[in-house]
């Protein structure tokens, strides 16, 4: 049996890193002797997260273009050439059978080097609006795995395959019941629970909203499980009470999702994919500070199918209370959202992607 070698590149945010790790884990499960090497951007979070997941990583000196004129933009061409040379040298030494790009700064030079070295490569695009790195790498890719319909407007249609986003296996394999999940957070399973997700670092505007509306949630008879992010925990930890649990980070998302009756969340691609599998009534508050406004477009793709609700940050003041109260008080609306969001779930995304990679290396 051949010992396959895989180069995987993606990072900058968890949205690019976690799918890359999920694909590596599935490949490792099927090919015990396979070798893996990740390529990331030197000062980005993948340099910490990938080794934590048990994989080797090499860093490129690369960053994105800023929207305004800065020294970093002046350095960009130098960094790009440096990264292309280094990526090519990494590929030459490692000799991969296939390269996998999941977006982010380092993915571009790595896929370009793969094309030069005649190494077949595939791309995985998490968002409903394609990222610039994947768009630039698309022409020579063997396959492009996407999570939303209609992605042919960004990529060559003969290469696009709708697979969904890789998600953690504990999300779709969970056996946790509501009672055990609620007690994990010292909450009551007899009373509805609102789960608030602002991403691992947290979301200032979402946290400000939750802080302000705690009395309102109480008036609706809700308990609150509030993941405020590690940047904000010190600021909000004093709100912990019998019916409010404030945490910096949730290690067991399967428990959090099983406990929840309602969810308020940012609309990162990974979160959206998980929430489709979870199938709970969800209100998205997309981050406006994300490249190409990805989060708004991710949320809109669900809103169009009546599978979730969405409020932009600048509408929260005027519309949040009425929108959320309507949802809590309408069982019919809740059931409709649950049904429609579950229809969009693609729980076997990782397996599907790896099946296709295996066809390329066969």
- pLDDT, tens digit, 9 for 90 and up, residues 168-201: 778 888 889 999 999 999 999 999 999 999 876 6
Tokens of 207: 């946290």
Task: Give the mean pLDDT of 72-86.
Answer: 84
The string of DSSP codes covering 37-81 is EEEEETTSTHHHHHHHTT--EEEE---PPPSS--HHHHHHHHHHH
Please say if the pLDDT value at position 71 is more than 80: no
Task: Give the mean pLDDT of 284-292.
Answer: 87
Please say if the pLDDT value at position 66 is more than 60: no
Confidence at residue 198, expressed as pLDDT on a 0 to 100 scale: 86
Please say if the pLDDT value at position 292 is more than 80: no
Split at pLDDT 50, 70, 90, the class of 43 is: confident
Q: How much is the mean pLDDT over the chain?
A: 93
Confidence at residue 69, expressed as pLDDT on a 0 to 100 scale: 62
Q: Which of 24, 20, 58, 278 lies closest to 165 in space, CA to CA?
A: 20
pLDDT > 90 fraction of the chain, expressed in percent and rounded = 79
Split at pLDDT 50, 70, 90, the class of 321 is: very high
Global pTM value:
0.85
Please say if the pLDDT value at position 140 is more than 70: yes
Task: Give the mean pLDDT of 283-296.
Answer: 89
Report pLDDT digits (tens) over 204-229.
999 999 999 999 999 999 999 999 99
Confidence at residue 170, expressed as pLDDT on a 0 to 100 scale: 80
Please say if the pLDDT value at position 153 is more than 80: yes
Split at pLDDT 50, 70, 90, the class of 26 is: very high
Full set of structural domains in the chain with CATH: 5-167+347-361 (3.40.50.2000), 170-343 (3.40.50.2000)
Confidence at residue 167, expressed as pLDDT on a 0 to 100 scale: 86
Task: Give the mean pLDDT of 330-347.
Answer: 96
**Which ranges constitute the DSSP H helices of the chain?**
14-30, 46-52, 71-94, 107-116, 132-137, 169-172, 178-184, 204-219, 233-236, 253-259, 269-278, 294-303, 316-329, 331-343, 349-361
Please say if the pLDDT value at position 123 is more than 60: yes
Confidence at residue 65, expressed as pLDDT on a 0 to 100 scale: 60
Angle among Cα 194, 172, 15 to the nearest 5 degrees reads: 75
Split at pLDDT 50, 70, 90, the class of 67 is: low
Please say if the pLDDT value at position 23 is more than 70: yes
Split at pLDDT 50, 70, 90, the class of 11 is: confident
Task: Give the mean pLDDT of 310-336.
Answer: 98
Task: Give the mean pLDDT of 288-304.
Answer: 90
Confidence at residue 68, expressed as pLDDT on a 0 to 100 scale: 59
CA distances from 29 to 24, 34, 36, 195 (A): 9, 9, 12, 32
Query: Which residues in 228-255 are b (16+ Cβ under 10 Å) and which e?
Result: bbebbeeebeeeeeebbbbbbebeebbb
Report pLDDT digits (tens) over 223-246.
999 999 988 999 999 999 999 999
Confidence at residue 311, expressed as pLDDT on a 0 to 100 scale: 98
């Amino acid at each position: 049996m051949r010992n396959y070698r895989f180069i995987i590149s993606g990072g900058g945010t968890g949205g690019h890193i976690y799918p890359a790790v999920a694909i590596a884990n599935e490949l490792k499960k099927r090919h015990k002797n396979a070798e893996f090497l990740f390529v990331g951007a030197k000062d980005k979070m993948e340099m910490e997260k990938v080794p934590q997941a048990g994989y080797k990583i090499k860093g490129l000196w690369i960053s994105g273009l800023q929207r305004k004129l800065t020294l970093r933009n002046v350095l960009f061409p130098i960094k790009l050439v440096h990264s292309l040379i280094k990526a090519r040298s990494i590929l030459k030494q490692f000799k991969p059978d296939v390269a996998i790009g999941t977006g982010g700064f380092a993915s571009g030079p790595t896929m370009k080097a793969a094309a030069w070295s005649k190494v077949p490569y595939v791309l995985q695009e998490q968002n409903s609006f394609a990222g610039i790195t994947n768009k630039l790498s698309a022409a020579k890719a063997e396959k492009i795995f996407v999570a939303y319909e209609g992605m042919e407007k960004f990529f060559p249609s003969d290469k696009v395959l709708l697979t969904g986003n890789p998600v953690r296996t504990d999300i779709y394999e969970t056996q946790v019941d509501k009672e055990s999940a609620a007690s994990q957070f010292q909450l009551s399973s007899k009373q509805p629970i609102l789960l608030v997700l602002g991403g691992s670092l947290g979301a200032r505007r979402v946290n400000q909203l939750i802080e302000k509306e705690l009395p309102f949630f109480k008036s609706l008879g809700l308990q609150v499980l509030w993941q405020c992010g590690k940047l904000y925990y010190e600021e909000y930890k004093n709100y912990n009470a019998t019916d409010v649990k404030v945490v910096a980070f949730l290690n067991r998302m399967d428990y959090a999702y099983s406990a929840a009756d309602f969810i308020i969340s940012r609309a990162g691609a990974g979160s959206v994919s998980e929430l489709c599998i979870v199938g709970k009534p969800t209100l998205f508050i997309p981050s406006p500070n994300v490249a190409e406004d990805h989060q708004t477009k991710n949320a809109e793709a669900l809103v169009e199918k009546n599978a979730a609700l969405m409020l932009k940050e600048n509408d929260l003041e005027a519309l949040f209370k009425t929108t959320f109260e309507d949802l809590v008080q309408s069982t019919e609306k809740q059931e409709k959202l649950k049904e429609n969001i579950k229809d969009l779930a693609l729980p076997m995304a990782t397996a599907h992607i790896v099946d296709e990679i295996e066809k390329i290396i066969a």
